[in-house]
Structure 1
């Protein structure tokens, strides 16, 4: 258990940041699921539109330190590849 006032404050701040970060990650996952569902249904136009929406969300996650830039790049690359394969 934290003994100093500063350590207690860090625990409070970390808990607050954790909830914010979890909500940001959840938002990114939701956008990714929209792209994947459009891909599964075979709707290229919907998938392309959803891909346009997911790209800035992923970039925002990188900028805010929620996900690593390589992870973001990999996710976007794989989604783009799948959308392009719809033909």
Structure 2
């Protein structure tokens, strides 16, 4: 059985997840969907429970904020920044 440190593997997974999230958000924002379409996609298709509109934040603005938070960040920093972000409830 391998008894090495799993930290490098976990870090690679975090980085891949952040990269995939950034690519998806970039493509989504480039599609110029309406706020209604973005809400439907996020809440119905993705099955999300959080609705930024409850805090008077437009969907496109919230997606842009998440994209900005993840810009140039590694997985650990992204997790901390998203958790501490002022728009989180």
TM-score interval for Structure 1 and Structure 2 normalised by the shorter chain? 0.3 to 0.5
Structure with greater proportional helix content: 1
- Looking at both structures, which has the greater relative contact order when contacts are Cα pairs under 8 Å and sequence separation is at least 6? 2
- TM (norm. structure 2) is 0.40
